Amino acid sequence: MNQPEISFQNVSKSFVHHNETVRVLKNITGEVQKGEILTIIGPSGSGKSTLLSLCNLLITPDEGEVRVQGKEVREWNAQELRRRVGIAFQSPPMLAGTAFENLSLPAKLRGKELENPEQYMEYVGLPKNLLTREAKELSGGQRQRLSLARTLVNEPDVLLLDEITSALDANAARGVEDLIVRINRERHTTILWVTHDLAQAERVGDRVFLIIDGKLIESGPAREFFAGPQTEEAKQFLAAKRESQ
């Protein structure tokens, strides 16, 4: 098998909360192959977002290793790593200024000018006349698309997505979801996607991680996992979620 794009080896992470040390991730071991969409599911507070943050040096593991393209994250230059590994959040941060100023920021940080902003807007399904609009005036779905376009300016190999459709209405969410799948298919971008929406996780995922209480309970091909989870904890989690949804 080829070298995984991202691998976790016995990864643990703790945070201090109200003078108490809380172990958020506990000995996570798993890998993501190049060009794969991995959906990451589990209850709120189970460590899913923490796992993403380890992949581009927003935080570092306390124990174990996280490798990106074979290289341990702490050996990467942070700026170079973040160009290769982009991240998008549920509420994408927008700078004061126009959509164009937001879109061109990654190029500007590298001392370059963004030569084809209209092309990026078109790719993510936004009309080019929005380039002159204040970014903060855009709708939630438009801001999410602009955030993705801004991330794509760096031509990342990996995209980390943290609940990026959960604040959007159903139509906008499906539009952004379709866009992500297209980015994956056309650019072979590896995607780690945290989602609370089980139907979405099953629809878009090649493989799935189920994380509960900081532990990787089960991983495998998404279709097989949703059709017949192997562990009792996974069966209970899916049953409870399906009942509530």
- Over the Cα atoms of the chain, what is R_g? 18
At residue 92, the pLDDT reads 85
Closest by Cα among 33, 83, 81 to 55: 81
Please provide the average confidence, as pLDDT, over all residues in the chain.
94
At residue 80, the pLDDT reads 93
At residue 1, the pLDDT reads 62
At residue 93, the pLDDT reads 86
Average pLDDT over residues 185-206: 96
pLDDT tens for 3-34 read 999 999 999 999 998 899 999 999 999 999 99
Sort 75 into a burial class: Cβ within 10 Å, 0-12 / 13-18 / 19+. exposed
Percent of the chain with pLDDT over 90: 82
At residue 31, the pLDDT reads 97
Give how far Cα 132 sits from Cα of 38, 101, 121, Å: 35, 9, 12
At residue 2, the pLDDT reads 81
- Domain extents for the chain? 6-244
Query: Per-residue pLDDT for 244 more than 80?
Result: no
* pLDDT band at residue 242 using 50, 70 and 90 as cut-offs: confident
* pLDDT band at residue 245 using 50, 70 and 90 as cut-offs: low
At residue 195, the pLDDT reads 96
The one-character DSSP state at 98 is B
Of 43-47, 73-77, 224-228, 240-244, the range with the lowest mean pLDDT is 240-244
pLDDT tens for 76-95 read 999 999 999 999 888 888 98
Looking at domain 6-244, its CATH superfamily turns out to be P-loop containing nucleotide triphosphate hydrolases (3.40.50.300)
Phi, psi of 199 (to 5 degrees): -65, -40
Region for residue 97 given its phi and psi (left: phi exceeds 0; alpha: psi -120 to 50; beta: otherwise): left
Q: Where are the alpha helices (DSSP H) in the chain?
A: 48-53, 78-84, 99-103, 105-109, 117-123, 140-152, 170-187, 198-204, 222-227, 232-244
At residue 228, the pLDDT reads 94
**135/94 Cα distance (integer angstroms):** 6
What's the predicted TM-score (pTM) here? 0.93
pLDDT tens for 91-113 read 888 989 999 999 999 988 888 88
At residue 89, the pLDDT reads 85
